[in-house]
Amino acid sequence: MRRLALAALLFLAGCGVNEMLSKPVDYKSAGKQQLPTLEVPPDLTTPARDSRYVMPETGKQSATLSGYQAERQEQAKNTNAVLPQPDRMRVERAGSERWLVVQGDPPEKLWPLVKDFWQENGFILALDLPEAGVMETDWAENRAKIPQDFIRNFLGKILDSVYSTSERDKFRTRLERTADGKGTEIYISHRGMQEVYENNRTVDKTVWQPRDPDPGLEAEFLRRLMVRLGTQDEKARQIAANPLSVEKRAELAGDSLKLFEPFDRAWRRVGLALDRVGFTVEDRDRQQGLYFVRYADPDAAAGKKDDRGFISRLLNRDSKVKAEQYRVVVKQNPDGSQVNVFNKDGGSDSTGTAKRILTLLLEQLK
């Protein structure tokens, strides 16, 4: 009974906060438990963090403690040397899109560093495909958005599980090789869901609905990633605040989407647009310029418009519309590149869904 009373008191206190507080992001993946830190007994010494699971060099017949410690120090130096040079990093921007360019370091070198970055920021990786250059976090909540009122601060972490936000976020990271093949372009795309109250005649409940991507969150994690890769925090802020603008435009031309940029850039931007909107990308073939995606078109099935937003209808998990497979094709043309959408067999789409997909991509690429 006391627990219920405390929970009710905390709920009422939290309801008084109507504005979002400006605080740093502090994510916690859904279902991830915070376990207490292990304490070392006073009569024992704390082991070095980087030497607990490392065996001495096996090629030698014997090893001394001093020699082993010297080798560990040398390995630590080499580990630091793996980080990219800060002066080789820059942020480029086209419209609301930003991405990090790391010169001189290929994707396979940066992959483990980027993976560690997300885990250090409180995320669980739900997708880890180094061969495809794609990783995606699980849904997580930004704990920094929880109101920090008097009662919340007084109770501290005792009833931390009682507090929860109505929003969840996930991030997809795509690593692509630069056009010269010597560097890496890192794209971070955000997807968000929001819990809303749904009232009908039979039952009152809450449902999760998609919300628009947040370019600000994408930019913030690009900045944090620069710091993780070796850039000083102040310099990373300056780079993120002053990205190198890249002039890019897109327009619809009949049944095609024209991009005024070469194939390499167009391919990467189309992939980022698909990630941001939330298409299910089942496979891709860069040599053929193909993305194999699944999309459920509620307009085509119902034969009329829905009152909900386009992105909400696209990502609505309660929809009974069957998702169909489509091919998104990116190819070079004399003016730059063009994008076409075909059905699963590679033929023309007669339902009008392909045009709607192109329109959705245009919103992200223009």
Distance CA 226, CA 83 (A): 10
Q: Which of the four pLDDT bands, split at 50, 70 and 90, describes residue 258?
A: very high
Domain with CATH 3.30.530.50 in the chain: 82-246
**Which pLDDT tens digit goes with each residue over 268-277?**
889 988 888 8
- Cα dist from 57 to 67, 68, 220, whole Å: 10, 8, 41
265: left (phi over 0), alpha (psi -120 to 50) or beta: alpha
pLDDT value of position 74: 58
The per-residue pLDDT for range 88-105, each reduced to its tens digit, is 999 998 777 889 999 999
Count of Cβ atoms closer than 10 Å to residue 331 Cβ:
15
Per-residue model confidence (pLDDT) at position 4: 43
**What are the tens digits of pLDDT across the range 208-256?**
888 888 989 999 999 999 999 999 999 999 998 888 877 657 888 888 9
The pLDDT value given to residue 171 = 95
pLDDT the model gives residue 265: 85
Give the CATH number of domain 82-246: 3.30.530.50
User: What are the b/e assignments for 68-103, b being 16+ CB within 10 Å?
Assistant: beeeeeeeeeeeeeeebeeeebebebbeebbbbebe
Q: What is the pLDDT of residue 299?
A: 55
Q: What percent of the chain has pLDDT over 90?
A: 31
* Tokens 């993976």, residue located: 115
Quick one: pLDDT at residue 27?
A: 80
Of the listed ranges 24-33, 232-241, 251-260, 278-287, the least confidently predicted one is 24-33
- Cβ contacts of 83 within 8 Å, gap of 6 or more: 113, 229, 230
Of the chain, the percentage scoring pLDDT greater than 70 comes to: 64
Interatomic CA distance for residues 278 and 210, integer angstroms: 10
Task: Tell me the per-residue pLDDT of 44-95, one tens digit each, with 9 for 90 and over.
Answer: 444 444 443 344 444 445 556 566 556 655 554 554 456 787 789 999 987 7
What global pTM score does this model have? 0.59
Q: Where in the chain is the domain with CATH 3.30.310.170?
A: 248-366
CATH no., domain 248-366? 3.30.310.170
pLDDT tens profile 312-334: 544 444 445 678 899 999 999 88
Ranked by mean pLDDT, the top range of 20-34, 72-86, 187-201 is: 187-201
- What was the pLDDT predicted at 41? 47
Confidence label for 111 from pLDDT (cuts 50, 70 and 90): very high
95 compared with 349, residue with greater pLDDT: 349
